[in-house]
Structure 1
Amino acid sequence: MKLIYSGKTKDVYQTEEGKIVLKFKDDVTGENGVFDPGANTVGLTMEGAGRAGLKLTTLFFRELNKKGIPTHFIDSNIEEATMKVVPATHFGEGLEVICRYKAVGSFLRRYGKYATEGQALDGFVEVTLKDDERKDPPISEDALKMLGILTEEEYQVIKSLTVKIAEMVKEALKEREIELYDIKLEFGKDPDGNIMLIDEISGGNMRAYREDQYISPMELQKIMVSS
């Protein structure tokens, strides 16, 4: 396979047949050795995190595909920590879409003058630009349209899919008495121009708690996959 992109938590390869393969790493985002799904730097390395993330991603993506929600997932190889996916075109240089149920992380850092830690949020959806240099700034629907990153229709499709996917994950966690605080998703277009969920759904891109106790990505995978 040919390496075509090396990311923080995954490497992207292309096979001789032109297929795209993601290789999950043991690196997770955070700062100063503390995990943070909203961080734009690698904060620490956790042995087995790549396979754990892929196991949970496979579980959720298969369920989404069954429900008719479009994703880039084709299949996965847990032992090799790889996932075969549909080629995707990004919006601009990449967007992150966050659905928030509790005021924590960057939301609290930005709006702490008005919000209190852990305050309930009604599935608030926000979009940020993938831009390490500018610390992934949030961007409004109007700005996305004006800058030619998203059309109004594309924005509404992505927002609707984000709510549906987040609610599905939230309910799956709730069955194990786990509360979802927030989740970060990414979207792209397939070769036919259809919008689909890309990247992953794992403990590495969400905050989950049980009885106000944070659950690490590794522990979340163990709970969800073994249950």
Structure 2
Amino acid sequence: MDSIEYEKRTITRGALKYTGKAKQVYTTDDPDILWVHYLDQATALNGKVKETISGKGELNSAISQLLFNYLTGNNIKNHYLHSISKTDELITSLDILPIEVVTRNYASGHFVSKFAATPMQKLTPIVQEFYYKSDALDDPFINDSQILALNYATNDELTKLRAESTIINRHLIDLFRQANIQLIDFKLEFGRTKNGDILLADELSPDNMRLVDIATGNSLDKDVFRKHSGDVTVGYQEVLTRLQQII
């Protein structure tokens, strides 16, 4: 499919803008709208490990659309516009900030190895971290003064990122709890509209969240792929099925 009706007009897919770890992004004939295609691809170590996994793109797209719609219903502004197919969607074109915002509710992953924290230790208060988006540099940690000095964001924007991430965390914790899933940590990305407004961007899926089944303690996220502990799509499908039952 190369075009779709959206808001009483036809949007036509244009040239490939870029290919990311798990998505392709295309221009459209509307400069304010992009066309996203989710790939059947899983990566680890900032893309150094890559594998094709059948059906993963469809699962990521479905979960992400559900979560963006859920957040839209809770007054969180984001880039998601419209579903095109099981793997494609329209989004608002943004100037993406080169900053990843990581929110940690429990100790896991690099937080455990860096600080010798007890795995799954509840973190009070929650931990928020900024990372510079660069696969070549392995997404290094970056602090406020470094961000400001490098002009990656303004002080007001950093305040906005923290506040939005905190609110999103509360909403997602509540939603996943209803699905009997524990939200361990997650990564968010944001971008600027042409008017300078900050919107939530990228995707919302088990690719950028750690999710644990409350009943079994099993991982339902990309850690299954990272640790080679099973079929990653099994957990993704479980997340999708549970969300569909409550949203």
TM-score of the aligned structures, taking structure 2 as reference length: 0.82
Cα deviation per residue 1:34-93 (whole Å; 9 max; x = unaligned)? xxxxx45454332111111111111111122222211011111233x11101110022xx
Which residue of 20, 24, 40 corresponds with 1:11? 24
Pairs within 5 Å for 1:61-72:
61-72=68-79
1:78/1:107 Cα in 2 relative to 1: closer, same or farther (>3 Å)? farther
Is 1:98 aligned to 2:102, yes or no? yes
Whether contact under 8 Å (1:29, 1:204) holds in the other structure is no
8 Å CA contact 1:180, 1:207 repeated in 2: yes
Quote the Cα distance in structure 2 between the aligned partners of 1:41 and 1:101.
27
Partner Cα distance (1:52, 1:63) in 2: 17
Look up the SS of the partner of 1:133 in the other structure: coil
1:137 correspondence with 2:140: yes
- The 3-state SS of whatever aligns with 1:132 is coil
Two-structure CA RMSD over aligned residues (Å): 1.6
Pick one of 107, 120, 123 that aligns with 2:122.
120
Which residue of structure 1 aligns with residue 63 of structure 2? 56
For residues 8 and 78 of structure 1, the distance between their equivalents in structure 2, rounded to whole angstroms, comes to 20
**What is aligned with 1:20?**
34
* Alignment CA distance shift 1:42-1:226 (3 Å): farther
Q: Against the structure 1 CA distance between its residues 124 and 154, is the aligned structure 2 distance closer, same or farther, given a 3 Å change threshold?
A: same
Distance 2:158 2:131 in 1: 13
Partner secondary structure for residue 139 of structure 1: coil
Q: Which structure is larger by alpha-carbon Rg, 1 or 2? A: 2
Deviates more, 1:59-68 or 1:182-191: 59-68
Partner AA of 2:121 in structure 1: Q
Q: Which has the higher contact order (CA 8 A, sep 6+)?
A: 1
Aligned mates of 2:238, 2:40 — CA distance in 1: 14
> How many residue pairs were aligned?
215
Q: Structure 1: how far apart are the matches of 2:115 and 2:137? A: 18
Query: Of the candidates 73, 77, 84, which is equivalent to residue 84 of structure 2?
Result: 77
Does the 8 Å CA contact 1:49/1:218 hold for their aligned counterparts? Answer: no
Give, in whole Å, the separation in 2 of the partners of 1:129 and 1:53. 24
For the residues of structure 1 that align with 2:49 and 2:199, how far apart are their CA atoms? Answer: 26
Instruction: Provide the rounded CA distance (Å) in 2 between the counterparts of 1:148 and 1:65.
Output: 29
Deviates more, 1:40-49 or 1:61-70: 40-49
Matched to 1:203, the amino acid is P
Match of 1:2 among 15, 24, 34: 15
- Residue 62 of structure 1 aligns with an amino acid whose one-letter code is N
Which runs of 5 or more residues in structure 1 are unaligned? 32-38
Residue 10 (structure 2) aligns with: none
In the alignment, which residue of structure 1 is the partner of 2:243?
224
Matched residue, 2:44:
30
What is the identity percentage for the equivalent residue pairs of Structure 1 and Structure 2?
Answer: 27
Give the aligned partner of residue 51 of structure 2.
44
Structure 1 SS opposite 2:25: strand
Give yes or no for contact 1:103–1:118 (8 Å, CA) kept in 2. Answer: yes
Given the alignment, which residue of 213, 217, 224 partners 2:218? 213
- 2:99 touches 2:152 (CA, 8 Å); kept in 1? no
Unmatched segments (≥5 aa) in structure 2: 1-13, 221-234
